[in-house]
């Protein structure tokens, strides 16, 4: 930590945060999932791809150390968003990233409590009776190897092997060739791991039911609370809790940053790709040829547009219309399409990730050509409970005698459907015993035998997560990373979302042109050409259709 406390003091609920529940809860639910870790690959898009990296260990390479989706997701998100040396994050428009991170912390805390119990069981019934413990682990490992075969007969050998080992164990208990303490110990070594497995199974099932209930509750909107007492320091000496609290505050502060990054064809990171663009560019001539134009700057036009955009939610008819928009000045930095990281503006003109107003005004007026950051005025709508983020960006430039007003549309689609799937019991179709030509569906156990073994083996190592990463692997998050845009689908497959995106363009464009015309008239500019061009654009925007506006055919 850099020692700076990002805590803003008294908290005021952010406008629109209550309407982002679906997207927030969908991603938060991933922290509690028990599905295979490779499921995350289904949520990859053409722009942002996660990876599942296998463990680096060759000696201990085993499926038993491999994490499930919830374990790997929680670990990856915590490390990336709260790590001491983490890089800049992309804002997550349409959801609350702190809530997602808090659920990752809560899920990790629950797993640590479970693993503490499993560690005790493993120590008492496994480590103390190591010969039998190794025998049973080896048996399960061989059975899993057989089960991976495509040959049905070969897969059956796994079950046969388990039965044979079980039968030999019973025979060994009955006909023990040794006597004395050694005999008692060897008998216990055969039985103790089985007892420990049964206890571990009960612990694992209780944990799985709790995790699935939270997973289900988040997607059903039942209000699952993330409990993270480790983020609430009780005295000044609890440095780790204080560091975690400050990391969460820093995350919230960066979420409110007014600087964003333009990554070429990927669009503005966090806002989505540019699907439409409309330009109004005409020469500046005085309305009265005998007089000069009254001097004005780009900021004067932008400020008038800003004030008018605030009124978008008001209309002449009581028919619903726009929800209250977020109108904000953005500083946009260019980055490469394949940039592996980004860095936010720094210096005396930036405070707590916010570019100060005087610097925003300077960039708007003077950085319109050549290198450097650019200024955009944005009006943003968060719709469908955070599933759709529509952003219209306006930039005003004056080069020589030409005033240019550009309006572009960006759309960020819903969270990938993977994160919206609810927990379901695993079933298997089998043939009936008597009427063998008929089949029936049976529900498999919530926690399988090999899952109990996996949890028991991983439990003693959870005190040092990097070791588990080395043995079992982890999720590598796409960079530059932001929770929302990393797993966003395209909005154009949803008819109503696509309609909302295209309907936004016309009123926003007309408000922008109206405000600009008013400023030009006040400063003695001939608006006839601007008005003609504006009318032509108003006709063209009514036939708005999504395009890849950032992909140039050159």
pLDDT tens track for 478-489: 989 999 999 998
- Residues 193, 230, single domain; the answer is yes
CB distance 41 to 118 below 8 Å: no
In a domain, 176, yes or no: yes
Write down the pLDDT at residue 15.
34
SS3 for 323-359, per residue?
Answer: CCCEEEEEEEEECCCCCCCCCCCCCCCEECCEECHHH
- Tens of pLDDT, residue by residue over 518-546, are 988 888 888 888 787 777 777 667 666 77
Write down the pLDDT at residue 143.
66
Last residue of a domain, one of 486, 506, 526: 486
In a domain, 355, yes or no: yes
- Residues 91, 181, single domain; the answer is yes
Last residue of a domain, one of 486, 510, 533: 486
Write down the pLDDT at residue 380.
94
In a domain, 363, yes or no: yes
Residue 388: strand, helix, or coil: strand
- Residues 80, 215, single domain; the answer is yes
In a domain, 78, yes or no: yes
- Residues 464, 328, single domain; the answer is no
- Residues 45, 88, single domain; the answer is yes
In a domain, 264, yes or no: no
| Radius of gyration of the chain from its Cα atoms, rounded to whole angstroms | 30
In a domain, 549, yes or no: no
- Residues 319, 335, single domain; the answer is yes
In a domain, 175, yes or no: yes
Alpha-carbon gap, residue 292 to 288, rounded angstroms: 8
CB distance 247 to 97 below 8 Å: no
Q: What is the pLDDT along the chain (554 residues), one digit of tens a residue?
A: 454 454 444 333 333 344 578 999 999 999 999 999 999 999 988 888 888 888 766 655 567 788 999 999 999 999 999 977 788 999 999 899 999 999 999 999 999 999 999 999 888 887 777 777 777 777 766 666 666 666 666 566 656 666 666 666 665 655 666 566 676 777 777 777 888 888 989 999 999 999 999 999 999 887 788 888 877 777 777 788 888 888 899 999 999 999 999 998 888 999 988 988 888 888 888 888 878 888 888 999 999 999 999 988 887 766 777 888 899 999 999 998 888 889 888 889 989 899 999 999 999 999 888 888 999 999 999 999 889 999 999 999 988 888 899 999 999 999 999 999 999 888 777 777 667 667 777 777 888 888 888 898 889 888 888 899 888 889 999 989 999 999 998 888 888 999 888 888 888 988 998 899 898 888 888 888 878 777 777 766 766 677 777 777 66
CB distance 380 to 260 below 8 Å: no
- Residues 24, 109, single domain; the answer is yes
Q: Would strands 326-334 and 439-443 be described as parallel, antiparallel, or unpaired?
A: unpaired
Write down the pLDDT at residue 8.
44
- Residues 230, 289, single domain; the answer is no
- Residues 425, 525, single domain; the answer is no
Write down the pLDDT at residue 328.
95
- Residues 301, 370, single domain; the answer is yes
- Residues 354, 368, single domain; the answer is yes
Percent of the chain with pLDDT over 90: 35
Last residue of a domain, one of 443, 465, 486: 486
> pTM here?
0.85
Domain count, the chain: 2
Write down the pLDDT at residue 494.
86
Q: Which residues contact 531 (CB under 8 A, 6 or more apart)?
A: 517
- Residues 63, 177, single domain; the answer is yes
Alpha-carbon gap, residue 204 to 196, rounded angstroms: 12
Write down the pLDDT at residue 391.
94
Range of the domain at 292: 273-412+490-541
Alpha-carbon gap, residue 269 to 508, rounded angstroms: 22
In a domain, 519, yes or no: yes
């Amino acid at each position: 930590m850099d020692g700076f406390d990002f805590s803003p003091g008294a908290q005021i609920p952010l406008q629109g945060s209550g309407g982002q529940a679906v997207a927030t809860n969908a991603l938060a639910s991933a922290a509690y999932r028990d599905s295979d870790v490779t499921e995350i690959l289904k949520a990859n898009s053409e722009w942002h791809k996660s990876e599942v990296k296998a463990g680096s260990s060759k000696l201990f390479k085993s499926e038993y150390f491999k994490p499930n989706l919830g374990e790997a997701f929680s670990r990856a998100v915590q490390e990336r968003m709260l790590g001491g040396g983490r890089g800049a994050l992309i804002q997550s428009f349409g959801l609350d990233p702190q809530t997602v991170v808090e659920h990752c912390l809560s899920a990790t805390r629950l797993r640590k409590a479970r693993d503490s119990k499993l560690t005790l069981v493993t120590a008492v019934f496994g480590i103390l009776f190591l010969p039998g413990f190794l025998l049973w682990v080896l048996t399960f490992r061989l059975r899993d190897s057989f089960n991976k075969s495509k040959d049905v007969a070969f897969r059956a050998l796994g079950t046969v092997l388990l039965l044979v080992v079980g039968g030999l164990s019973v025979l060994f208990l009955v006909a023990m060739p040794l006597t004395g303490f050694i005999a008692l110990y060897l008998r216990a070594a055969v039985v103790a791991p089985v007892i420990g497995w049964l206890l571990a199974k009960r612990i694992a099932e209780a944990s799985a039911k709790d995790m699935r209930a939270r997973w289900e509750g988040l997607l059903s909107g039942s209000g699952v609370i993330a409990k993270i007492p480790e983020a609430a320091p009780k005295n000044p000496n609890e440095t780790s809790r204080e560091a975690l609290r400050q990391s969460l505050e820093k995350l919230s502060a960066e979420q409110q940053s007014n600087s964003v990054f333009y990554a070429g064809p990927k669009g503005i990171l966090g806002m989505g790709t540019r699907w439409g663009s409309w330009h109004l560019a005409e020469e500046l001539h005085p309305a009265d040829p005998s007089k000069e134009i009254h001097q004005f700057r780009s900021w004067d036009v932008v400020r008038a547009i800003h004030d008018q955009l605030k009124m978008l939610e008001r209309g002449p008819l009581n028919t619903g219309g726009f929800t209250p928009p977020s109108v904000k000045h953005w500083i946009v930095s260019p980055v490469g399409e394949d940039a592996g990281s980004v860095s936010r503006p720094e210096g005396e003109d930036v405070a707590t990730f916010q570019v100060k107003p005087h610097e925003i005004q300077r960039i708007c007026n003077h950085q319109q050509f050549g290198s450097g950051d650019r200024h955009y005025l944005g009006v943003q709508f968060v719709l469908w409970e955070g599933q759709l983020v529509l952003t219209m960006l306006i930039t005003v430039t004056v080069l020589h005698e030409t005033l240019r007003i550009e309006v572009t549309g960006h759309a960020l689609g819903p969270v990938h459907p993977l994160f919206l799937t609810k927990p379901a019991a695993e079933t298997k179709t089998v043939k009936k015993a008597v009427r063998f030509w008929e089949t029936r569906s049976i529900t498999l156990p919530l926690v399988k035998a090999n899952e109990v073994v996996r949890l028991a083996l991983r439990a003693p190592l959870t005190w040092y997560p990097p070791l588990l990463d080395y043995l079992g692997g982890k999720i590598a998050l796409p960079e530059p990373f932001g929770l929302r845009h990393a797993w966003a689908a395209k909005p154009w497959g949803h008819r109503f979302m696509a309609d909302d995106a295209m309907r936004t363009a016309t009123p926003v464009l007309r408000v922008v042109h109206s405000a600009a015309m008013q400023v030009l008239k006040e400063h003695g500019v001939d608006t006839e050409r601007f008005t003609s061009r504006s009318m032509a654009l108003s006709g063209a925007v009514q036939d708005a259709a999504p395009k890849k506006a950032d992909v140039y055919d050159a």
